[in-house]
Amino acid sequence: MNKVVKIVSILIIIGAIVFAGYKLMTDDEKQDGAEIVKADTSQDDGEKVEAPLPVKVISVKKGGLPLRLRVSATADVWEKTMMKSEVRGNIQSIHSSVGDYVKKGQLLVKIDDRELKLELEKAKTAKLKALSDFLVKEDTNMTTSQELSPEKQKALSVVKEQYLEALDLFSKGKMNETAFEKISDEYEKSMVFSGELREEIRKAQEGLSNATLTVKQKELDINRTYIRAPFNGIIAELTISTGEIINAGQDLLKIVNLESLYLRGYALESEIRHLSVGTQVRVRFDSFPGTFFRGKLDAISPEIDPDKKTITIFIDMDNKEGKILPGMHAEIDIEYKVFEDVVKVPIKAVVSRQERTLVFKVEDDVALWTYVDVGAKNDEEWQILTGLEEGEQVVVEGQLTLAHQSKVKVVQ
């Protein structure tokens, strides 16, 4: 009985050794979890015929290989506003709806101005009365104005020159506000005492100036009942209805100019060395998978967020067709460096086996295991330093299960 057990044990050990040896041989033909398989074979008159494996190939090309920095961004527009009413009144008419394209200066909303026109007529009447009172007193008190003495005229001229010189310096930022106000006060006092401002002072005393200002204010309020587009754009929101009574400061509508679109992105502090105004960028939106848009780096913020360690960048891009909407998420590829005239292949063409990089070249419908030295790469392509020449055919799909000298069939 013991002898039988020993024989069985020996057979089990031999079987385990054979199985382990088989595993070691087959493991060398695996790469990245994908098992290398030979092409299917079939029996034909007693001879095995290798069936070709389907693969896709590309022709090796030379060209530029851009290095890209990827940044997440959000679309926004420079020109957008929620228009508010500047006067109280009744909405008389609305001339646009949500989604309508409007041009700068186009009438959007009209507020009933009848009450304001009545107030304007009252203001004009008050102005006429004040003007009448002023003219009557001016005629009654009219006297021959006394001419200033040469000394006073000279002094007034000096003060006026000092004021004009101070005004020029103040407008250029070369004089502070306190010093300018002091000279300005002296000038106004001199003008009053000289009689130069006599008419303006009497108008104010008779209420004519206030009446004139009231008329102008009412005329301005009437103009404000015409709500016009401040720029070309699309109506994005409408918050009022015809006949509604609104107050000053109330929201009316929102207008957005999609042609003023830009992207706001955030790059890491460590990536600042790759950023330069004017750099061309490639933009991809979640809303348009597989489609690339072009733009350029338009501005870089001078500040870094101390908490997030990021810097804000602004991308300018054409949106005349209005495809991109504010709020859309985008991925920006900033092409900060380009290797010119290099041999390159898609990244998926390169595989790694036995800690070496290689590709499968196709010659006469046979896949050849070819070691290559690689250089720079981006998210799409890899530079080939040695091992490939321009024009050669390499496998880009189906290579994970190929063995050296496998027969292949190129498919589209």
What is the pTM (predicted TM-score) of this model? Answer: 0.58
Per residue in 225-247, is it b (16+ CB within 10 Å) or e — as a string?
bebebebbbbbbebebeeeeebe
Number of neighbouring beta carbons within 10 Å of residue 85 = 20
pLDDT per residue as tens digits for the range 95-119: 999 999 999 999 999 999 888 888 8
**358's tokens:** 């290689």
Instruction: Determine which of 25-34, 72-81, 349-358, 374-383 has the lowest per-residue pLDDT on average.
Output: 25-34
Residue-level length of the chain: 412
Task: With cut-offs at 50, 70 and 90, classify the pLDDT of residue 174.
Answer: confident
Instruction: Determine which of 102-116, 138-152, 224-238 has the lowest per-residue pLDDT on average.
Output: 138-152
Alpha carbon distances (Å) from 282 to 65, 72, 263, 341: 14, 12, 12, 20
Which of 216, 197, 200, 217 lies closest to 208 in space, CA to CA?
Answer: 200
Residue extents of the structural domains in the chain:
67-78+260-336, 83-141+148-253
> Does the structural domain 67-78+260-336 have CATH classification 2.30.30.40?
no
Nearest-angstrom CA–CA distance, 391 and 88:
75
CA dihedral 13, 16, 17, 21 (to 10 degrees): 180
- Contact of 353 with 32, CB cutoff 8 Å: no
Task: With cut-offs at 50, 70 and 90, classify the pLDDT of residue 25.
Answer: very low
